[in-house]
Amino acid sequence: MLNDNLNNSPEIQNDYIKLIAEIMEIRKRGEVPLAYIRTYGCQQNVADSEKIKGMLSMCGYEFTDNPNNADFILFNTCAVREHAEDRVFGNVGALKSLKRKHPSVLIALCGCMMEQEHVANKIYKSFPFVGLVFGTHCMHIFPQLLYKSLVDGKRVFERDNDDLLVHEGIPVRRDGSFKGWLPIMYGCDNFCTYCIVPYVRGRERSRESSVILQEAKNMIDAGYKDITLLGQNVNSYGKGLEEKITFAELLKKIDDIEGDYLLRFMTSHPKDCTKELIDTMASGKHISKHLHLPFQSGSDRILKLMNRRYNVEKYLSIIDYAKSKIPDVSLTSDIIVGFPGETYEDFKQTLELIRKVEFTSLFTFIYSPRVGTPAAKMDDPIPYEEKSKWFSELLAVQEEIAAKRCAAMVGTTQRILIEGETGKDGMLAGRTSGNIVVELPGDKNTIGTFQNAEITEARNWILRGKLL
Ligand code: 5AD
Ligand code: SF4
C-alpha cells in the first residue's frame, strides 16, 4: 500500500509537475534542468522510462547523454538475472565521485530491482548518495516523489507491492520517431519457477482496449511505422477486464486501423497461444510475420519443474500450425540453459527442438538464481563451467541454423523498414517483417520509410541487400 500522504490521482500528480517546474525555474534561474536516464533490461523497462521522460519533460527537464552535466540522474533497473543486477550495482557505485563533485545532483534508482526488499535495503545502507528509490508500482506517483526529494532534501524510498491498478494518463516521451512501444498489459501471473517478474511487477492487469486503440491511432497519425505491443504474456490479454476480448481480437482491431505501419507483439506464452492468434497473424494486413514464442527448455521434465504448463508436443503443434498458415513465418525464442536439476540429456532435447523448429534467432541465457523464487531453493549440482560449455554448444548449433535460414532468403524480395546508418560509409540498416537485420547501401533520407530490397548475400544472421 502507498503511504497515506502519497496520492494516486493523476490531477494531484499534475499539480506536483507544476510545482517542480516552478522550483527548477527558481533554482536554475531560467537555465534548463537536465536529466540523464539509463535503462537496463527489457522493452517494458524502455516503455516505463519513456513515461518517466514524459513526466520529466512536463516538469521542464531536457535530456543529456552525459551524467556529468545532469541535475537528475536515474537508473531504471532490471532484476531478471544476476548479471543485470551486478552491472547496476557497479554503475551506481561509480556515481559516488560524481555526487562528490556535484553535490546538488539528485541520484535516483527505479524499476524491478527496487521492488526487492533486500536490494532496496542494500542501496539504503551501502549507497548513501542515492537520494530517491522507487519501485515499478510507484511510477504514476513519480512527480510527487521527485517533489518530496527536491523539497525535503531527505532520502525518499518507496515501494508498493500490492498495486492491482492500471494507471492511465501518464505522458509518454518516446525515444524513437518511427519505431515505438505500446504496453497493453502489466505484470505476470504465471510464476515460472525461475522468474522474478511476478514478484517485482505484480499481478497481471490489462489496459482497456479503447485506450490502447486510441494510443495506436495516435502513434500511426504521428508517423510511427513499427509498433510493438508489449506484455509479459500478451496471449492472456483481456483477463479481468469487464469487456470480453482476446488478444487476437485486440490485434485484429488495431490491424483494422488504416495506415502504412507494421504491428509486432511480444511476448507470447506457448500455454496460451491459440490458433485464433495465428489465423489473425496470417490474415493481418499490418501484422509482422514474426512469432516470438519462448520455449525455455526442450525437456518435458524440466518444463514441469519450471511450471511452464505445456510440453514439447504441444509447443511443436503450435509451431507446425504457424508454419502451415504463415509459410514465411520467422520464429524466435528464449532458452534457459542449466536450470536446477537439468542434465546433459535434458539439454540435448533442447538442441533437438531448435534443430526441428529452425528458429531465425534465439535469446539464450544461463540460469541465474533469483532470491525468493522456487527454483532458487532447488538442488543445482551442475557447476557453472559445465553449463557454460552447454551454452557454447547451443550457440554453435543455432549459428548453423541461422546461417542456413538466412542463406535461403538470398534472391528474395523483402519489404524493409530502414532504421538507421550502420556506421560504415553509405550503408543503412533495416529490418524485415520477420525482424531480421538487413544492411544495404542507400540514401539516409530513406530512414524511417519502408523500402523493397532484394537480398543479395547472407552473412550468418545478418543479410545484405540492395534497394529496388
Ligand atoms: N535465469 C536465466 N534466465 C531467465 N529468464 C527469466 N528468468 C531467468 C533466470 N532466473 C529469461 C527467460 C525469459 C527471458 C526474458 O529471460 O528466458 O523468457
Ligand atoms: Fe517470467 Fe514466466 Fe511471467 Fe515470462 S511468463 S515474465 S518467464 S513468470
Any idea what the CATH number is for the domain that residue 80 is in?
3.40.50.2300
Which residue lies with its CA nearest to atom 5 of ligand 2?
190
CB 138 within 8 A of CB 159: yes
Euclidean distance between CA atoms 462 and 457, whole angstroms: 9
Whether 142 and 29 map to the same domain: the answer is yes
CA distances in angstroms from 446 to 274, 450, 456, 468, listed in the order given: 37, 8, 19, 13
Whether 321 and 439 map to the same domain: the answer is no
Whether 299 and 426 map to the same domain: the answer is no
Q: Which residues lie below 8 Å from residue 321, measured CB to CB, with a gap of 6+?
A: 275, 278
- Domain boundary among the residues 101, 123, 158 is at 158
Residue type, 84: A
Closest atom of ligand 1 to CA, residue 80: 7
Whether 16 and 64 map to the same domain: the answer is yes
Euclidean distance between CA atoms 423 and 298, whole angstroms: 39
Whether 195 and 136 map to the same domain: the answer is no
Whether 16 and 119 map to the same domain: the answer is yes
Euclidean distance between CA atoms 96 and 93, whole angstroms: 6
Q: What is the CATH number of the domain that holds 418?
A: 2.40.50.140
Q: How many domains does the chain have?
A: 4
Closest atom of ligand 1 to CA, residue 373: 10
Number of H helices, E strands in the chain: 14, 19
- Domain assignment present for residue 137? The answer is yes
Cell output for 309: 504448463
**What is the best residue among 199, 269, 308, 335 to mutate for testing ligand 2's pocket, by most ligand atoms within 8 Å of CB?**
269
The pLDDT value recorded for residue 1 is 45
Which stretches of the chain drop beneath a pLDDT of 70? 1-4, 161-163
- Domain assignment present for residue 168? The answer is no
The pLDDT value recorded for residue 47 is 98
**What is the best residue among 78, 112, 195, 266 to mutate for testing ligand 2's pocket, by most ligand atoms within 8 Å of CB?**
195
Whether 259 and 297 map to the same domain: the answer is no
Closest atom of ligand 2 to CA, residue 188: 3
Q: What are the pocket residues of ligand 1 if the criterion is a CB atom closer than 6 Å to any ligand atom?
A: 80-81, 194-195, 294, 296, 334, 336, 365, 367-368, 370
Whether 134 and 193 map to the same domain: the answer is no
**What is the best residue among 80, 190, 293, 350 to mutate for testing ligand 1's pocket, by most ligand atoms within 8 Å of CB?**
80
Print the domain residue range for 19: 10-158
How crowded is the C-beta side of 379, counted as CA atoms within 13 Å? 4
Does the reported pTM lie above 0.85?
A: yes
Closest ligand by atom to 268 CA: 2
CA of 269 to the centre of ligand 2 (A): 8
Report phi then psi at 139, rounded to 5. -55, -40
- Domain assignment present for residue 331? The answer is yes
Q: Which of 267, 265, 409 has its CA nearest to residue 333?
A: 267
- Domain assignment present for residue 3? The answer is no
pLDDT tens-digit map of 302-316: 999 999 999 999 999
CA of 150 to the centre of ligand 1 (A): 37
- Domain boundary among the residues 288, 304, 331 is at 288
- Domain assignment present for residue 379? The answer is yes
Q: What are the pocket residues of ligand 2 if the criterion is a CB atom closer than 6 Å to any ligand atom?
A: 188, 190-192, 195, 197-198, 232-233, 269
The pLDDT value recorded for residue 33 is 96
**What is the best residue among 43, 83, 194 to mutate for testing ligand 1's pocket, by most ligand atoms within 8 Å of CB?**
194
CB 59 within 8 A of CB 146: yes
